[in-house]
Amino acid sequence: MSGSLLLVVFIILVALLFDYINGFHDAANSIATVVSTRVLSPMQAVAWAAFFNFVAAFGFGVNVAKTVGKGVVESAVVDHWVILAGLTGAIVWDLITWYYGIPTSSSHALIGGFAGAAVVKAGFAALIPSGLAKIMAFIILAPLLGLALSFTLMVAVFWIFRRAHPGRVDGLFRRLQLISAAAYSLGHGTNDAQKTMGIIAILLFSAGYLGSEFYVPFWVILAAHAAIALGTLAGGWRIVKTMGMRLTKLRPVGGFCAETAGALMLIGTAVGGIPVSTTHTITGSIVGVGATQRLSAVRWGLAGRIIWAWILTIPLSALLAGATWLILPR
């Protein structure tokens, strides 16, 4: 096996490691509400989410993967070292924020790392403005749309069940939350695993293993979904606690509305090829649910610290990746 092929295999393994870390870092988003409402135990919830993370491989296409692979950095700039540095920056940032229990976006860490390494190598001309503009726009739109959708769903549910006995409503939505949690895990799996697919596919394309046309091989799709599902099984309790218990108190009806709003956002953007943050989406959805009770039901101080972490994710992961590119023994 040649040295070049060995390097490609090593970087693919690093990419799958990132996907696995994404699983226990970001997949907490898909189980936080179902755990905090005590519909499922933490172990039941991670198994439920992991199953649907993997099932998502078989139904939602690879449009996000194509955006990440071909829509962020100019193909001529991409090489093994840019990808390895970008992945390293994203992994380091993910591990730092996981350790401190801060629900930041693995997706934006990956985008920031990939872009940062490319800029250090070839300057800002290496970036594709239109692709980055779409991603940056949804940093703002994803939580706002999640908030609006969950708020609207909560208001509608309150009106529909205004005369029903609270105990019956609670029992109904405890069952429905299993469906909404599954839908959210499908959305998380298809949107987040595709980002790793895009990185692996552009690596194979730049190394000449895909021929003249960029595409995502089926084995890459299966490997990415398997890695994120295994990561989900590894847990992520620190962030589950922040998202599902500290941000606002949730009941099953609130968990259902937050997850349903998040699932609609994630699956819709995945079909449209827009890489969005599952963290931003579910955080906005949980805040929207809390705001229907009263604005003071949301712990705005904690929400503010989360927003600061979001703002810093892309530039700091870019800096980490750029520094990694400079020290790699190319």
Instruction: Output the pLDDT for position 39.
Output: 76
The residue assigned the tokens 């020290």 is: 327
Number of independent structural domains in the chain: 1
| pLDDT, position 197 | 95
Per-residue confidence at 243, pLDDT binned at 50, 70, 90?
very low
- Angle CA(220)–CA(223)–CA(228) in degrees, nearest 5? 125
pLDDT in tens, 107-121: 889 999 999 999 999
Mean pLDDT value across residues 235-250: 52
In the predicted model, what is the mean pLDDT of the chain? 84
Higher pLDDT, 234 or 145: 145
Q: Which two tokens stand for residue 306?
A: 């989360």
Convert the pLDDT of each residue in 248-282 to its tens digit. Answer: 566 788 889 988 999 999 999 998 888 888 878 88
pLDDT at 305: 64
The domain of 316 spans: 3-327
Tell me the mean pLDDT in the region 289-314: 69
**Predicted pLDDT of residue 15:** 95
Residue 58's pLDDT is what? 82
Reported as a single tens digit per residue, the pLDDT across 10-68 is 999 999 999 998 887 765 666 767 777 777 777 787 888 889 989 888 878 889 999 88
* CB burial of residue 105 (10 Å; 0-12, 13-18, 19+): buried
Q: Cβ distance 240 to 28 under 8 Å? A: yes
pLDDT at 44: 80
| pLDDT attached to residue 244 | 45
Cβ proximity of 75 and 205 under 8 Å: yes
**Percent of the chain at pLDDT exceeding 90:** 38
Q: How far apart are CA 36 and CA 32, in angstroms?
A: 6
CA angle 62, 277, 18 (to 5 degrees): 70
pLDDT, tens digit, for every residue of 212-230? 889 999 999 999 999 999 9
CA-wise closest residue to 22 among 99, 90, 101: 90
- Provide the percentage of residues in the chain whose pLDDT is more than 70: 88
Instruction: Assign 300 a pLDDT band (cuts: 50, 70, 90).
Output: low
Give the pLDDT of residue 289: 85
pLDDT of residue 239: 47
Write phi, then psi, for 12 (nearest 5 degrees).
Answer: -60, -40
